[in-house]
């Protein structure tokens, strides 16, 4: 035992905390840049992590995360957690996500947002909202749960569960799904929307309310003010309205 009374065997397990204040943009790992008002790092073996707070920001070649507090941990800071005024941009696919809290697995290309979550797919001009959104980058798949709402030009969809296959531009809705598309409303047990082909597939307990357009009514002809009563009669019709037609049989008897 040394003069401080600490066994050398315990040294590797000691908790080491390093505090920085007023940190600007600095490299944290090979592919990470950070920015924050305060930076706290823990270097204990098996517990390595860095916590950024106050205007915190982490930028890599694929994501740009901004929040009140950001925590990074795992090997090469594989995992990211964030909360408070959260905004994350997926740079490769031009996705913007906001919500209450964030979890990112950088190795698996996975982003998970909870609490009033929203994802804006700028490339496809679509907004996705729900209580939970998970984006799996390797599969180009977005899973949305709890109070799902999807907005796109001529499209408003609601459900409790949704799967959005971004590469195929296919939207799958279940859990009391309802969709209003081009003023027509559809309900079913399950709804599939092919956004690229403008096609809808309805399965189970189908209901639809389609808006129909009435044919244009032919305009009524305005009466001719100069018309003389009786002009509407044919050229060979000498009958005056209100008078009986002459009896040809009486004329014949008179001549005889």
> Residue 33 CA to chain centroid, in angstroms?
30
pLDDT for residue 76? 85
pLDDT range class, residue 2, cuts 50, 70, 90: very low
- With bands split at pLDDT 50, 70 and 90, how would you rate the model's confidence at 166? very high
Residue 3, pLDDT above cutoff 70: no
pLDDT of residue 256 exceeding 60: no
pLDDT at 1: 43
pLDDT for res 144: 98
57-113: pLDDT as tens digits:
999 989 999 999 999 999 888 999 999 999 999 999 999 999 999 999 999 999 999
Prediction pTM value: 0.71
- 21-216 has CATH 2.60.450.10 classification: yes
Give me the pLDDT at residue 122, please: 93
**Whose CA is closest to 169, among 151, 196, 133?**
196
Q: How is the chain split into domains, by residue range?
A: 21-216
Q: Tell whether the model's pLDDT for residue 198 goes beyond 60.
A: yes
Q: What is the pLDDT of residues 108-129, one digit of tens each?
A: 999 999 999 999 999 999 999 9
Q: What is the pLDDT of residue 86?
A: 96
Tell me the per-residue pLDDT of 216-247, one tens digit each, with 9 for 90 and over.
Answer: 545 555 555 555 454 444 444 444 445 555 55
Question: What pLDDT score was predicted for residue 27?
Answer: 52
């Amino acid at each position: 035992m040394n003069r401080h009374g600490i066994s050398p065997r315990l040294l590797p397990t000691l908790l080491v905390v390093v505090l920085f204040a007023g940190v600007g943009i600095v490299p944290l790992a090979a592919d990470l840049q950070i920015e924050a008002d305060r930076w706290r790092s823990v270097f204990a073996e098996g517990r390595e992590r860095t916590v950024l707070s106050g205007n915190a920001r982490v930028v890599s070649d694929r994501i740009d995360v901004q929040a009140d507090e950001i925590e990074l941990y795992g090997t090469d800071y594989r995992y990211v957690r964030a909360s408070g005024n959260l905004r994350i941009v997926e740079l490769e696919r031009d996705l913007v996500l906001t919500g209450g809290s964030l979890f990112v697995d950088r190795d698996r290309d996975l982003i998970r947002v909870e609490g009033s979550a929203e994802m804006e797919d700028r490339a496809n001009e679509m907004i996705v909202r729900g209580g939970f959104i998970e984006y799996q980058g390797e599969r180009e798949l977005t899973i949305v749960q709890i109070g799902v709402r999807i907005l796109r030009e001529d499209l408003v969809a609601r459900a409790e569960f949704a799967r959005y296959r971004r590469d195929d531009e296919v939207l799958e809705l279940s859990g009391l799904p309802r969709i209003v598309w081009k003023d027509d409303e559809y309900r079913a047990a399950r709804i599939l929307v092919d956004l690229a082909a403008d096609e809808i597939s309805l399965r189970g307990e189908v209901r639809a309310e389609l808006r129909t357009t009435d044919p244009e009514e032919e305009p009524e002809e305005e009466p001719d003010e100069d018309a003389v009563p009786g002009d509407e009669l044919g050229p060979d019709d000498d009958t005056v309205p209100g008078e009986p037609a002459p009896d040809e049989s009486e004329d014949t008897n008179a001549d005889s």
